[in-house]
Structure 1
Amino acid sequence: MRTLEEVQATLQIAKLKEEDLQETIHCLSFGENVSSADYCLLELDDTLCKHIETGQSLVIRGDKDEHAVLCSGDKTYDLKIADTSNLLLFLPGCKTPDQLPNNQDSQQVVHTQVWGFCNSYWELRKRHPKLKKLTKLLMENPYEGPALGGQEEITENRYTMEDLLERIQASEEEIKAHLETIHVCQIDDFWRVLDFDYEMKLLGHITQLVDSESWPIDKVPLQTTLEELEPLEPRAMIEHCLSCYGKRYTENDNVFYSLHEDKVCRGLAQLLLQNAVKFNLREFQEVWQQSVPEGMSTRLDQLRSLALVDRMSNPETICLLRVDDLPEDTVERFNHLFTLREKWTEDDITPYIQDLCGEKQTTGALLTKYARSSVQNGIKVFNSRRPVAT
């Protein structure tokens, strides 16, 4: 342990002035068996610091074959190792200059023991949650309706929220938001995605009833709908479908649903497109309009990130291309898109790369980095920066 006199002698050798230093002098010493492997340091911003200080937790998620991510209650972060040229010391109880008293009359030596050291730390970068795996897990056993007489329901590959939190690299709020987006419902404590054909069957029952009763599409009575369709499907499934494709409201103590035009038109368009490689665009638009309830209007902008129109073919065609089916990795996504089509207009490609944008990042920035632009027939188009295998 150094004395004050030894410290002052060291200052003279180093040609440092005592008046330029704090009155409290820390002398550091290493404890026995101190190792750099004893501790990991994590850099947190103010938001995450307050998150920890209020007693909330941060969770590291990832299977053995995945790069670990850190999740708060509502956000997901990449974990990156950052090296530093300065050795970082772990000193419990050590006070910084702003924590020291200003009224000390003389210098004093405080002996502080080093508990650990590192020359790197974990830094966090906010990222999009990895949710493709969530859909994949739920699609292992989609819900196709109640089991018919004599049939046993498949009980394998069903997941509770706790199961999903263990498997999915996303925060709980992000998982719940995605479950709502893909129309998942809770059945016997398990989260189940509806088989698309079954979901369309439910929607078909509802839209046919709306047409037959001549109800306004923005005023579908819940109780009457449940009573009319109960012989066909469970009440819970009918109400779930109404929640997926409409907005619930109450008027004079009666519950109604206002059907969402874009959601209904989009769902019925996917039903038409899913069994065809390509569809004549004009014929598709005619059939599509005929399939939706009276009072609804179909528009191609309702199909952003769901279907791709080819204006260069003769006749013009449309095909199913869901953004959910594309790779999550940015490089792989662009390679896949340029395999499907050599040149893209900005309007066509934007719906398929929008979800790749990071915080404060634009699709224009992504295109600048991963694509090359040119002008074709007066229209700006984008193609791959490197040869793409077809």
Structure 2
Amino acid sequence: MRTLEEVQATLEIAKLKKEDLQNTIQCLSFGENVSSADYCLMELDDVLCKHIEAGQSLVIRGDKEEHAVLCSDDKTFDLKIADTSNLLLFVPGCRTPDQLTNNKQDVSHVVHAQIWGFSNSYWELRKQRPKLKKLKKLLMENPYEGPALGGQEENMENRYTMQDLLERVQASEEEIKTYLEAIHACQIDGHWCILEFDYEMKLLGHLTQLVDSESWSFNKVPLQTSLKELSPLEPKEMIEHCLNCYGKCFTENERVFYALHEDKVCRAVALLLLQNAVKFNLREFQEVWQQSVPEGMNARLDQLKSVALLDRTSQPQTICLLRVEDLPEAALERFNHLFSLREKWTEDDITPYIQDLCGEKQTTGALLTKYARSSMQNGIKVFNSRRPVAQ
């Protein structure tokens, strides 16, 4: 423990003026068994600080083979170690200069503080896209194909509760819930399930046929009448789930109605047509597609962005299934895959397949600059890979 005289002697050697310093002099000393492995530091922004101060939690998620991420209630952050050239000391009870301003003593005095730990690195957080591909993979282990027949018990193997998903998927709870809604997942006996595609299309077919037979407007489908008419064919919960997936609920004169979403219904019909074909003649596809959608709805190619790819350079022009959700999550792997499918892309064609890769304040143009090079082809700007791509 240093005395006041020893401190003053050190100040003289260092040629520091007493009047430039606080009257309170803090002397630091290492405690017993101090180690750099005892503590980890994490740098938080103001939003996350307030989140913690409000008593909320931050959770680190990831299996052993995955790079760990940190999740709040609604955001996901990449965890990266940042080294610092300055040794960071953990000193409980040490006071900063602003905490000493009220010290009105004219006489210098020494206080002693003990160092509990130290570190030369800290965890740096960077907001990132949630890793949700694994979520759909888990749910596809046992998709829901409809109610069990003949008194058979429901197969509950590989079914997951929300808590199960939170433990397995690297995303916040809010992001998981949003994605579950996007992929039309539903809860059955407390477990989340994704509907088998043919079964979902069966439900939608029943619904659109009922609307047609009753001559209802697609913008005003009555819930209770739909449930009554279709309940002999499918469970009421599934019929209402289908209405929620493909329509918007509203109330009029205390009755519940749904307005079916034209783009969603038309896109689902297109996916049904394209799922078993490698390529489809574009003109023939458009004719069959328009004939297949419910009467009164208009099938348009702009409804298929991010789920189908057009080739206008071939003769005849073709269309094929290519869903963005089936592509790799990492940017480099995503671009490699896209350029393995097609050597040159126009900006309009490739944008729907890279839009979801954009981080905060990032544009698709910036991604293309990083992973592709541009050139002109027949007066149109096209993009090809910056590096050789294995076919």
- TM-score, structure 2 normalization: 0.99
What does residue range 22-171 of structure 1 map to in structure 2 within 5 Å? 22-102=22-102, 103-171=104-172
Q: Distance in 2 between matches of 1:18 and 1:261?
A: 78
Deviation at 1:150, TM superposition (A): 4.6
Tell me which amino acid in the other structure corresponds to 2:198: D
Which range moved further: 113-122 or 290-299? 290-299
Q: Distance in 2 between matches of 1:134 and 1:285?
A: 33
3-state DSSP class of the match of 2:85? strand
Tell me which amino acid in the other structure corresponds to 1:86: N
Q: Distance in 1 between matches of 2:105 and 2:155?
A: 75
Deviation at 1:293, TM superposition (A): 1.4
Q: Which residue of 2 aligns with 1:184?
A: 185
Which range moved further: 96-105 or 69-78? 96-105
Deviation at 1:152, TM superposition (A): 3.4
Q: Distance in 1 between matches of 2:296 and 2:378?
A: 39
Q: Distance in 1 between matches of 2:198 and 2:129?
A: 29
Segments ≥4 residues shifted beyond 6 Å: none
Tell me which amino acid in the other structure corresponds to 1:325: D
Q: Distance in 1 between matches of 2:361 and 2:175?
A: 19
3-state DSSP class of the match of 2:387? coil
3-state DSSP class of the match of 1:382? strand
Q: Which residue of 1 aligns with 2:282?
A: 281
Tell me which amino acid in the other structure corresponds to 1:63: D
Deviation at 1:153, TM superposition (A): 2.5
Deviation at 1:295, TM superposition (A): 1.6
Tell me which amino acid in the other structure corresponds to 2:72: S
Q: Distance in 2 between matches of 1:107 and 1:193?
A: 71
Deviation at 1:108, TM superposition (A): 2.1
1:81-137 deviation line (CA, Å, top 9, x unaligned): 000000000011211111223333222212000000000000100000000000000
Count the aligned residue pairs: 390
Query: Percent identity, aligned pairs only?
Result: 82
Q: Distance in 2 between matches of 1:258 and 1:281?
A: 30
Q: Which residue of 1 aligns with 2:358?
A: 357
3-state DSSP class of the match of 2:306? coil
1:162-187 deviation line (CA, Å, top 9, x unaligned): 00000000000000000000001000
Q: Which residue of 2 aligns with 1:336?
A: 337
3-state DSSP class of the match of 2:174? helix
3-state DSSP class of the match of 1:347? helix
Q: Which residue of 1 aligns with 2:261?
A: 260
3-state DSSP class of the match of 2:94? coil
Q: Which residue of 2 aligns with 1:230?
A: 231
Q: Distance in 2 between matches of 1:104 and 1:266?
A: 77
Q: Distance in 2 between matches of 1:235 and 1:105?
A: 81
3-state DSSP class of the match of 1:141? coil
Q: Distance in 2 between matches of 1:90 and 1:99?
A: 17
3-state DSSP class of the match of 1:60? strand
Q: Distance in 1 between matches of 2:173 and 2:105?
A: 50
Q: Which residue of 2 aligns with 1:271?
A: 272
Deviation at 1:23, TM superposition (A): 2.0
Q: Distance in 2 between matches of 1:20 and 1:250?
A: 72
Q: Distance in 2 between matches of 1:335 and 1:341?
A: 10
Q: Distance in 2 between matches of 1:262 and 1:69?
A: 35
Q: Distance in 2 between matches of 1:336 and 1:214?
A: 46
Gaps of 5+ in 1: none
Which range moved further: 94-103 or 111-120? 94-103
Q: Which residue of 1 aligns with 2:317?
A: 316
1:28-79 deviation line (CA, Å, top 9, x unaligned): 0000000000000011111000000000000000000000000000000000
Q: Distance in 2 between matches of 1:28 and 1:300?
A: 70
Q: Which residue of 1 aligns with 2:176?
A: 175
Q: Distance in 2 between matches of 1:253 and 1:378?
A: 58
Tell me which amino acid in the other structure corresponds to 2:94: C
Q: Distance in 2 between matches of 1:33 and 1:344?
A: 61
